[in-house]
Amino acid sequence: MNYYTIRSLGYDSLFAPADTKSAGGVLFDEFVIYDPRQAYPRYVINYKVTEIGVPTGSVISTKFHKHEILRSRSFDTSNELDYHFRLAEAEFRRFCKNRDVVKITYVINPVLESQFLETSKKFAAKYGARAEESKPILAFHGTPIERNIESILKNNFQRCYNKRTAYGHGHYFSEFSKTALGYAGRVKALILCKILVGRSQDAMGYTKLARGYDSLRVEKDALGRGKMIIIVNEKQILPQYVVHID
């Protein structure tokens, strides 16, 4: 194919579909143009590969550390902590617009990050790296006992916190911040976690996690988001933020 062949067929570009490399194609989706006037270089994206998916990788620590990030009118695009604040704030306010976020605690826990990464690799090997079951989601946890928060950030969820059994044994989360607030009582904070739900089993009432499933899900919406997500294995959980509200 060249410019004249494409134009004679009535086209302006060529689309090469992914996963055709074994047949002489390409590994990823590609668009091919033959007239440079069809392209306009607009941005240069500088990136650094990290294991946990941090935007720039500039805020790192080899031991447990917490960054307290206060809300600010300005947004410094070179400051990674500003990105963390806005990510956690946006996730909270998607489903709870009548409460203000006053502070975000961003948590770095290398031990739990390594544990979560290993679990991610197992899910990728089990379901495929591109499968939805292998991708983490963000979900909130509310606790009415404020001292539990620090322990969870340092040691992850333990069996002593595993007391809710309405829909089955496990650690309870919600993809909806407003729902999680209902479990926080007078505590003005929610823990925002990355969780690997894997293959979710839908629960209507008390449900025992069946073989072949990785989590329980209650009242899913059109996008598959759960009003409640129940995780039994704490290695599928990475506490990453504390959202402090007014």
> For the chain, what is the mean pLDDT?
90
pLDDT exceeds 80 at position 40: yes
Tell me what pLDDT residue 51 has. 53
Q: Which residues contact 152 (CB under 8 A, 6 or more apart)?
A: 141, 143, 161, 191, 239
pLDDT digits (tens, 9 = 90+) for 55-81: 555 677 789 999 999 998 888 877 889
Tell me what pLDDT residue 21 has. 84
DSSP type of residue 78? T
Q: Which residues contact 234 (CB under 8 A, 6 or more apart)?
A: 156, 157, 158, 171
Question: What is the DSSP code string of 157-222?
Answer: --GGG----SSSSSEEEBSSHHHHHTTTTT--EEEEEEE---SEEE-SSS-PPPTT-SEEEEEE-T
pLDDT digits (tens, 9 = 90+) for 127-144: 998 899 999 999 999 999
- Least confident range from 116-120, 166-170, 198-202: namely 166-170
Here the tokens at position 69 are 């990030």
Tell me what pLDDT residue 57 has. 59
- 45 vs 235: which has the higher pLDDT: 235
Tell me what pLDDT residue 228 has. 95
Distances (CA, A) of 65 to 107, 153, 199, 240: 6, 10, 32, 11
- Least confident range from 18-22, 170-174, 201-205, 212-216: namely 18-22
- Structural domains in the chain, CATH included, are 3-38 (no CATH), 65-245 (3.90.228.10)
Average pLDDT for residues 187-208, to the nearest whole number? 95
State the Cα–Cα distance between residues 172 and 103, nearest whole angstrom. Answer: 23
Average pLDDT for residues 11-30, to the nearest whole number? 88
Beta bridge partners of residue 120, listed in sequence order: none
pLDDT exceeds 60 at position 5: yes
Average pLDDT for residues 94-110, to the nearest whole number? 92
Distances (CA, A) of 57 to 48, 60, 115, 239: 7, 7, 19, 18
Confidence of residue 52 (pLDDT cuts 50, 70, 90): very low
CA–chain centroid gap for 1, Å, is 41
Confidence of residue 53 (pLDDT cuts 50, 70, 90): very low
Report which of 79, 105, 122, 75 is spatially closest to residue 235, judged by C-alpha positions.
Answer: 122
State the Cα–Cα distance between residues 198 and 7, nearest whole angstrom. Answer: 46
Over pLDDT 90: what percentage of the chain?
70
pLDDT digits (tens, 9 = 90+) for 111-121: 999 999 999 99
